[in-house]
Amino acid sequence: MGRLTLISRLAARDLRHRPVQAVLLLLAITAATVTLTLGLALNGVTSGPYLRTKAVTNGPDVTASVWPSAGEQPERPPSRDGLTALETASGAVAHSGPYPVASATLRARGHTVPVQAEGRDEALAAVDQPLVTEGTWVRPGGVVLERTFAQALGLTVGGRVSLNGQSFHVTGLAVTAAVPEYPGVCFFLSCNAYNGQAQASDMGMVWLTQAAARSLGTSATPLGYVLNLELSHPADGAVFVNTHSLAGPSSQSSAMTTWQQIQNADNDLVSVAQQVLTPGGWLAVALAIASVAVLAGGRMTEQTRRVGLLKAAGGTPALVAAVLLAEHVLLALVAAGAGLGIGWLTAPLLSSAGAGLLGAPGAPALTAGTAGLVVAVALGVTLAATLVPAVRAARTSTVSALADSARPPRRRALLIAVSALLPVPLLIGLRLIARRPRRALLGAASTAVTVTGIVAVLAAHHAYDLVAGRFDWFAGLSDPVSGRVSQVMAVLTVVLLTLAAVNTVIAGWATALEARQPSALARALGGTPRQVSVGLAAAQVLPALPGALAGIPLGIALFAVANSGGVVSVPPASWLAAVVAGTLAAVAALTALPATLGARRPAALILRSEVA
C-alpha cells in the first residue's frame, strides 16, 4: 500500500508541477475519445423514434406495391390482382389499400421536385394512417405533405403547390412509418419510373384524395398501387416476403418491403453520420497518439534525473516505470471519462432523427461495451505512446540518469554535409531535424493523418456535389441528408484540425525546447534571431511536406473505403493544393510563435555554465 501511495503522490505532484503539459495531454486524448464515443453511440439511435411512429400510425409490417415497368407501353395500368391476393394470404391479419400512387411533378416556391402522390380516403385507414402533426388530413383540393419533405421545401399549412399543373393547397403535414422519411423515400425500387429517366433518389411523399391521385395519372406516367399489410407475427416480415410473391406479367414491376427495412433506411440518416465519425474517430485517435508520444516522450527525458533519484533511493526499474506511467494513465482515465461525457451529451445533436419521425431519440444508450471500448482506447493510446520511453528511462543506469545526460544526438553525416550547401535558415533547420529524426518522422506522420482526414472530407463533399449536379431539382432544396452529412463532417473537420493544431504546437514547443542549446549557440556564433526562428520553423515544415503530400492519396482511399466501395472521388486539384499549402502555412505559423519567443531570450542565459 505504501508503494501505491508513493506512486500516486509522485504522479500527482508532477502533474501539478507542469499543468500546461497535463492540459495539452488531456486535450489530445479527450478529442480522440469524444470522436470515438460519438461514432459508437450513434449506432441504432433512431430505432426508438421509428417504433414510436409505427405504433402511433399503426404502420404496416409489410408494404407491397406494383407499378408499370419503365419503357413499357403505358396504356394499361398494372393489375391489382396480385395485391388483392396478398390481402388474404396466411399471416396477414389486416390491410389497407390498395391505394393508387401517381408520379407527379410538384412545383412550389420556385422549386420543381418529383413526388409520389398517394391517394387516400378521408376516413381513417386500418393500417398505416399517417399522423397529422399540423393541419388536417386529405380533403378535395388539398394535399398533405410528409413533414421532412415540407421542411425541406419550406412549406407550411396553407401554402399552395401545383401537381402536374393542378393547383392544391397544403392542408396538413404528417409523419408515417410506411416509407422512409425524405429523402429516403425511393429505395428498393418502390418508386415509379419518372419519364423513363433513372430513379431519382429524392422524391417527396404527399397524400391526396383518391380521386385527385387518379386524376394525376397520365398516359405518360400511369398509376401504380400500394398495399399495406399487418401481420400476425410482425417479426416474420422477411419470411412472409419470401413465401409470397407478386410476380405478374413483365409489363409491371413489383416489390415488397418489410418494416425492418424501412427502419434501417431511416437509420441510414444517422448511420451516415456514424460512417463518417467512426473512421474519423480512428484518425483522431492516431493524431492523439502522435501528440501524446511527443509530449510524453519529451517529459520522459526531463524525468531522467527523477528516475536516477528514485533508483538511487532503492526503487526497482518496475517501480520507476510505474511512477512514470502512473500520471499518464491517470490522465488517460480522466480523458476517457471526459470523452464519454461530452460524447454522450452531444450525440443527440447529431442524431436527431429528423422531422419525419416522432420525438427526439433521447440520449443514445451508453452501453457498458461502448464505455469499455473508449476507456480501453484511451489507455491504449497512452500506453502506446509512453511505454517505450518509460521503459527506456527506467532502464537507464542510475549513474547516467543522475548525471542527467540526455541521449546525445547521433551523427547523420549526409544531412550535415547537405545542409552546409543550403542557406543559413535551412542549414539550421536541417541540422535540427538530423538531431532528432524520429520526431521529424512523427511530425510527418501526424501531418499525413490530418491531411488524410481533410482530403477524405473534401472527397465526400465532391462526391455529393457530383451527384447533386446531375439533377436540377436538387438545386436550392435543402437536402437533409447532405445537410446532416455536412454537419457531421464539419464537426469531424473541426476535431481533426484542433487535434492537428494541438499536435503541431506540442511538437513545435518540444523542438524549440530541445533546440535551445544549439539555437543559442547559433546565435552566439553570429546567427540572427530571424535565421534561427526560420530554421526552427523549417525543422517542422520540411518533414510536414511529404506528410501532407502522402495524405492526399490516403484521404481519397479512405473515403472510397468508407463509402463502401462506391465512387472513388478525386477532389479538384485546386482544393488539394489549397489543403497542402494551408497545412504547411499553419505548421509554419504555429511553430513560429514558440520559435520567436525562444529567440528573444539572451543567448547568454542558456549558455552560461555557472554564474560568475
Partner 1 sequence: MTALLSARGLCKEYGKGDALVRAVDDVDLDVAVGETVAIMGPSGCGKSTLLHLLGGLDRPTRGEIELAGSRVGQLGERALARLRRDAVGFVFQAFHLMDELTAAENVELPALLAGRSPRAARRRALELLDRTGLADRARFLPSALSGGQRQRVAIARALANDPAIVLADEPTGNLDSAATLDVLRLFDDLHRAGQTLVIVTHDSRIAATADRLISMRDGEFTDETRLTGGTAGSLGKLAGLEG
Which grid coordinates are listed for 198? 433513372
Residue 422 vs 468, nearer CB to partner 1: 422
Q: In whole angstroms, what is the distance from residue 129 CA to residue 298 CA?
A: 65
For 307-339, the DSSP string reads HHHHHHTT--HHHHHHHHHHHHHHHHHHHHHHH
Handedness of CA 131, 137, 138, 144 (dihedral sign): negative
Contact 228, 258 (CB under 8 A): no
Minimal distance, residue 431 CB to partner 1, in Å: 8
Minimal distance, residue 18 CB to partner 1, in Å: 25
Minimal distance, residue 554 CB to partner 1, in Å: 33
For 325-386, the DSSP string reads HHHHHHHHHHHHHHHHHHHHHHHHHHH---TTSSS---SPP--HHHHHHHHHHHHHHHHHHH
For residue 386, count other CB atoms closer than 10 A to its CB: 27
Minimal distance, residue 520 CB to partner 1, in Å: 9
Bridge partners for 145 per DSSP: 173, 206
Residue 71 vs 408, nearer CB to partner 1: 408
Residue 197 vs 528, nearer CB to partner 1: 528
Minimal distance, residue 333 CB to partner 1, in Å: 39
Residue 133 vs 528, nearer CB to partner 1: 528
Residue 1 vs 525, nearer CB to partner 1: 525
Residue 227 vs 434, nearer CB to partner 1: 434
Minimal distance, residue 432 CB to partner 1, in Å: 11
Is 167 exposed, middle or buried, given 0-12, 13-18 or 19+ CB atoms closer than 10 A? exposed
Bridge partners for 170 per DSSP: 143
Cis peptide before 572, with omega less than 30 degrees from 0?
Answer: no
Residue 334 vs 593, nearer CB to partner 1: 593
Q: In whole angstroms, what is the distance from residue 9 CA to residue 15 CA?
A: 10
Residue 16 vs 410, nearer CB to partner 1: 410
**Intra-chain end-to-end CA distance of the chain, in Å:** 47
Minimal distance, residue 408 CB to partner 1, in Å: 5
Minimal distance, residue 412 CB to partner 1, in Å: 7
Closest CA to 555 of 448, 472, 466: 448
Contact 347, 42 (CB under 8 A): yes
Largest CA distance in the chain: 106
Q: In whole angstroms, what is the distance from residue 134 CA to residue 157 CA?
A: 7
Give the footprint of partner 1 on this chain (CB under 8 A).
Answer: 408-412, 416, 420-421, 424, 427, 434-435, 517-518, 521-531, 602-605, 607-612
b (16+ CB within 10 A) / e for 284-318? bbbbbbbbbbbbbbbbbbebbebbbebbeeebeee
Residue 317 vs 409, nearer CB to partner 1: 409
Residue 438 vs 608, nearer CB to partner 1: 608
Minimal distance, residue 561 CB to partner 1, in Å: 42
Minimal distance, residue 559 CB to partner 1, in Å: 42
Write the CA distances from 598 to 208, 466, 519, 590, 604, integer angstroms. Answer: 73, 48, 9, 14, 13
Residue 205 vs 515, nearer CB to partner 1: 515
Q: State the DSSP H helix or E strand holding residue 145, giving kind and residue range, or none if neither.
A: strand 142-146
Minimal distance, residue 5 CB to partner 1, in Å: 37
